[in-house]
Amino acid sequence: MNLEAFKQVNCSQTKASRRRDLASYLLTAPALIWLLVFFLVPYLIVFIYSFLSTDIYDVSFKFSLSAYRQLFSGIYLRPFYLAFRLAFITTFACLILAFPVAYYIARASEKMRNMLLILIIIPFWTNLIIRIFSWRIFLSYNGVLNTILLRLGLISTPLELMRTDFTVLLVMVYVYLPYMILPLYSALEKMDFTLLQAAMDLGANEVKAFFRITLPLAAEGIFAGSLLVFIPTLGAYLIPQLVGNQRSLYVGQVITYKIKNIPRNWPMASAMSFILLLLVAIMLIAMYAIYRKRTLAKRNV
């Protein structure tokens, strides 16, 4: 082929690829518009509201920094602290509990695997509020657990199991555990288990093989699962509200109160929402950077 012909072919190829680019833009447009209208615009409104002044029922359109000033003055930091603490502990507890389960499912026979996965998914078929209420019935002062323990003579007065910080953590872990198991499972299922034999052949005992082979290869699942658990836990409202107490208010609850209870404080609710989003975004970016550096870059260069 001579040079001219070669150039022509090349040219038409780039044209074709440009056409393909355009097509892909058009195809992603609905999603982009959806994001713009239902995510970016509302957040923009929230952002603007956080700089307005309070009114008893809604806001007055006067610029003010008082929401942020109050927010950083002290009492409003505790709900943030509690929420982050809860999110971290929940994520970690889910990880510790989910790993062996996911590992076991990934190594089970195909038939067994499908059945176990269905068992993991079954709780999703029941409404979340009903599941939380069943925990209340189970744990309350005159509840199932206390009755059983009393009958067995293990305790003489019922235990205070409801409305403690631990109850919140317990129900959180219960609700979000499947979100950790499933991505972990999908990462472990892809793993070639003869790699562990190879590691042991090369002198690594079971523990070393786990930390050097299984754990890094499950990184993808750990990352995805942690996000799926951490982010909703951080803004949790329903669970602390239904099984928690008024001494430990989480950020989600406080935001709801500021919107709902009179006197309303929408700028405060907006400021808290915005700061929460900002913190999550920073964390996400940091985690993603670490994740990319440690795993993605390695495998697909």
Beta bridge mates, 59: 54
With respect to another protein, which residue has the nearer C-beta, 126 or 197? 197
Token pair in block for residue 116: 């176990």
* Position 293 contacts another protein (CB under 8 A): no
* Position 100 contacts another protein (CB under 8 A): no
With respect to another protein, which residue has the nearer C-beta, 162 or 184? 184
With respect to another protein, which residue has the nearer C-beta, 200 or 280? 200
* Position 300 contacts another protein (CB under 8 A): yes
With respect to another protein, which residue has the nearer C-beta, 70 or 186? 186
* Position 160 contacts another protein (CB under 8 A): no
Q: Give the range of 7-15, 57-65, 265-273, 291-299 binding another protein by CB under 8 A.
A: 291-299
* Position 74 contacts another protein (CB under 8 A): no
Q: Give the range of 53-61, 81-89, 123-131, 293-301 binding another protein by CB under 8 A.
A: 293-301
* Position 58 contacts another protein (CB under 8 A): no
* Position 11 contacts another protein (CB under 8 A): no
| CA dihedral of 207, 209, 211, 212, whole degrees rounded to 10 | 150
Mapping DSSP onto H, E and C, the string for the chain reads CCHHHHHHHHHHHHHHHHHHHHHHHHHHHHHHHHHHHHHHHHHHHHHHHCCCEECCCCEECCCCCHHHHHHCCCCCHHHHHHHHHHHHHHHHHHHHHHHHHHHHHHHCCHHHHHHHHHHHHHHHHCCHHHHHHHHHHHHCCCCHHHHHHHHCCCCCCCCCCCCCHHHHHHHHHHHHHHHHHHHHHHHHHHCCCHHHHHHHHCCCCHHHHHHHHHHHHCHHHHHHHHHHHHHHHHCCCHHHHHHCCCCCCCHHHHHHHHHHCCCCCHHHHHHHHHHHHHHHHHHHHHHHHHHHHHHHHHHHC
Please state the closest distance from residue 200 (CB atom) to another protein, in A.
4
Please state the closest distance from residue 299 (CB atom) to another protein, in A.
6
Please state the closest distance from residue 184 (CB atom) to another protein, in A.
16
With respect to another protein, which residue has the nearer C-beta, 2 or 194? 194
Q: Which of 111, 99, 280 is nearest to 188 (CA)?
A: 99
Window 177 to 216, contacts with another protein (CB under 8 A): 192, 194-195, 197-205, 208, 212-213, 216
With respect to another protein, which residue has the nearer C-beta, 20 or 107? 107
* Position 66 contacts another protein (CB under 8 A): no
Window 214 to 273, contacts with another protein (CB under 8 A): 216-217
Binding stretches for another protein (CB under 8 A): 192, 194-195, 197-205, 208, 212-213, 216-217, 295, 298-301
